[in-house]
C-alpha cells in the first residue's frame, strides 16, 4: 500500500456535484493498493498514519499526531499512486490492484483506520469521478509505502 498524506486545514470530496465528505483540520489520505497488499499492510499503515507527528505543538514544532489534536480525516482510494512511468509517456497501472482485490482492502483499511483513530472518517467512492478540494496546511505532504516501510 502506498499513501499520500496531506495535512489540511480543510478538505472535501465531491461526486456528481454533491459533497460526500468534508473535514476541518486533519488529514486527507490518498491510498493506492497493490495485489500483494494484505492485513499486515493495513495495520502497519493505519498505525503509522495515526501516530505521524506532523501537527504543530504550542511552539509550532511538528510534534503532535492526528490523535493528539483530535483531527478529522478523509480516505480516498487512488490507483494512480502505483503508476509506472519507466517506459514511454503513458503511465502503466499494472501494479495497481483490480477492483475485486482493491475494494475489500480499501474497506478494511477504512475500518482499521477508524478503529485506530477512534472516530468515523470521510471517504471517497471507489471508482467514481471525484473532485477533491483541499487547503494543504504548511504545506505538509508525506508519502508512505508499506513495502519499503518508509
pLDDT at 149: 81
CB contact at 8 A, 11 and 136: no
Q: What is the pTM of this model?
A: 0.95
Strands 2-15 and 18-23: antiparallel
CB contact at 8 A, 40 and 89: no
Q: Which of 14, 36, 50, 80 is catalytic?
A: 80
| CA pair distance 17, 6, nearest whole angstrom | 23
Domains, in order of start, for the chain? 2-145 (3.50.80.10)
Q: How far is CA 84 from the centre of its chain?
A: 19
| CA pair distance 44, 1, nearest whole angstrom | 10
Q: Is 146 assigned a catalytic role?
A: no
Structure confidence by residue, pLDDT tens digits, 67-96: 999 999 999 999 999 998 988 899 999 889
Amino acid at each position: 500500500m502506498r499513501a499520500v498524506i496531506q495535512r489540511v486545514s480543510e478538505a472535501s470530496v465531491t461526486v456528481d456535484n454533491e459533497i460526500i465528505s468534508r473535514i476541518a483540520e486533519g488529514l486527507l489520505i490518498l491510498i493506492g493498493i497493490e495485489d500483494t497488499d494484505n492485513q499486515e499492510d493495513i495495520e502497519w499503515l493505519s498505525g503509522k498514519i495515526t501516530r505521524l507527528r506532523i501537527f504543530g505543538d504550542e511552539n509550532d514544532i511538528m510534534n503532535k499526531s492526528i490523535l493528539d489534536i483530535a483531527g478529522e480525516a478523509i480516505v480516498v482510494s487512488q490507483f494512480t499512486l502505483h503508476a509506472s512511468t519507466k517506459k514511454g509517456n503513458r503511465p502503466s497501472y499494472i501494479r495497481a490492484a483490480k477492483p475485486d482485490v482493491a475494494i475489500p482492502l480499501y474497506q478494511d483499511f477504512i475500518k482499521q483506520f477508524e478503529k485506530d483513530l477512534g472516530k468515523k472518517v470521510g471517504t471517497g467512492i471507489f471508482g467514481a469521478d471525484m473532485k477533491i478540494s483541499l487547503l494543504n496546511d504548511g504545506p505538509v505532504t508525506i508519502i508512505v509505502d508499506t513495502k519499503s516501510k518508509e
